[in-house]
Amino acid sequence: MPISLHLLHLAPSCVSCTRLAHRPGFRLANVSSAGHKEPAASHALYLHPREPSNMRIIQVNKYHFLKGGAERYYLDLSALQKDRGLQVQHLVMQHPRNLELTPEDQTVSEVDYRGALSPWQKLQHGFKVIYNPETARAATRLAQGPRPAVAHLHNIYHQLSPSLVHVFAKSGIPMVQTLHDYKLICPGYLLMTQGAVCERCKTKHYFHAFRHRCILGSGPASLVGSVEGYVHEWWKTYSLIDRFLCPSRFMLEKVAEFGVPRHKLIHLPYLLPVEQYEPANFPPDPACVYVGRLSREKGLPTLFRAMSLLPPSCKLTLRVLGEGPIEEELRTFARKQCPDRIEFLGYQSGTALHDAIRRAAFAVLPSEWYENYPFGILEPFALGRPVVGAAIGGIPELVVNGETGRLFESGNPYALAEALEWMTSPQADPERMGRNARAFVTETCDPQRHLAQLDEIYAGLHP
């Protein structure tokens, strides 16, 4: 089937999406004059689905199990591409939790940088962060397979290393990388230092990572991260990658601001198989839910403080789903300040996770770092639940006041408490906002449209 590109006028397919279309950061699918929905793409390109080609896709990510949002996207994308008849191979790290792999896939030895390591092992692993020879050999074996081929990179840093980039480039295999975090421009991934947003490395002064101990709070680890940044800048490693796929417009603008060429950047929101998320058909409890890692950059101390500020007349409770490094600190605060408002439910997944979100009236994401395009919002949306979100990073592209949830000033517990209380008021109407949220994510994250756009991106890398 020949590639067909069309420029179309904005014509959202439902009333709620019409309102969202006029808000900054929103880009909705369009409808052709014949009434057929067309997918939204970067630079106003709207792409017809292509028939599956004979192209081989090399999917590269350090983890091959559901660890976080990056893995959810990587695994969903790989499965959907296989379902369409594409040949998909994987390059991943060995891990006991890995999902099933095939003999055609390649693995490298497991590395646990948080484990107990001898000084010699730390030195060895430090070098592997910069260039892992085992990864390079595995990439070489994959590069020798049939053509045409494209390598789709995800989180490759540290355990795999960018050594594979040079192998694929030398072999003539084009590469795209989905940017799940800010590692491309920040040695510490988060653009955050000591609890605050940080952009000190904007001028490629990576020594700041060591100076401020940005990686695991460790001097040696941060030194390795600084050296890694300088080495790959010297080697021009990331200039060898053909396209960078940015799930949020915020991500695209931020990496462009740091000097990544704009012609290499494409806005492509995550896909989400919404049909796998059944919305609730029963009234919710007077509760909100947080789903995610219990870490400082997620704004959990601010959320807990906000819960303690709610007046007695507000009966809202908080259910916390997840684990993380500040869990004990949070439990101590909850016991002392608001023992009857906060419940810890631990890590949840699958049906149990969906049920917990459905039972709550809304979800909350109080992040204090530049969130990209968080599944902590996408999944509640798919389940028909609105979200109270911090106005930071890519969150405002998803959460619109009064339409799909409520925004508040990031890091401000008083503003968050006000938003939480508003969500329990009659004028909020969380059921209506939940329907809007599901309609939005159904349009924006449609898997078939996403795959069609990827087909066009892959095909554009082969003259």
Interatomic CA distance for residues 309 and 286, integer angstroms: 17
- Residue 14: is its pLDDT beyond 60? no
Topology of 274-443 in CATH?
Answer: Rossmann fold (3.40.50)
> Which pLDDT tens digit goes with each residue over 93-129?
999 999 999 999 999 999 876 666 666 566 666 788 9
- What confidence category does residue 46 fall into, taking pLDDT thresholds of 50, 70 and 90? very low
Is 281 in contact with 287 (CB distance < 8 Å)?
no
Task: Tell me the pTM.
Answer: 0.86
Residue 172 sits at the vertex; the CA angle it makes with 168 and 177, to the nearest 5 degrees, is: 50
Other C-beta atoms closer than 10 Å to the C-beta of 448 total 13
pLDDT digit string (tens) for 397-425?
999 999 999 999 999 999 999 999 999 99
Per-residue pLDDT reduced to its tens digit, 68-82: 899 999 999 999 999
Mean of the per-residue pLDDT values of the chain: 87
Furthest-apart CA atoms within the chain: distance in Å: 67
pLDDT at residue number 18: 40
Q: Kindly state the average pLDDT of the residues 275-297.
A: 94
Which pLDDT score, from 0 to 100, does residue 126 have?
72
Determine the average pLDDT of the residues in 300-312. 97
Q: Indicate whether 462 pLDDT > 90.
A: no
In this structure, the chain runs to a length of 463
Please determine, for residue 245, whether its predicted confidence score (pLDDT) is greater than 90: yes
Cis peptide before 148 (omega within 30 of 0): yes
Coil, helix or strand for 123? helix
- Copy the structure tokens of residue 178: 């989905």
pLDDT tens per residue, range 249-281: 999 999 999 999 999 999 999 999 999 999 988
Domain residue spans of the chain: 5-47, 56-271+447-460, 274-443
Which pLDDT score is estimated for 21?
44
pLDDT value for 54: 79
Q: Which CATH architecture has domain 56-271+447-460?
A: 3-Layer(aba) Sandwich (3.40)
Same topology for domains 56-271+447-460 and 274-443, yes or no?
A: yes
> What's the start-to-end Cα distance of the chain, in Å?
16
Mean pLDDT computed over 228-234: 92
pLDDT in tens, 382-396: 999 999 999 999 999
pLDDT score for 120: 54
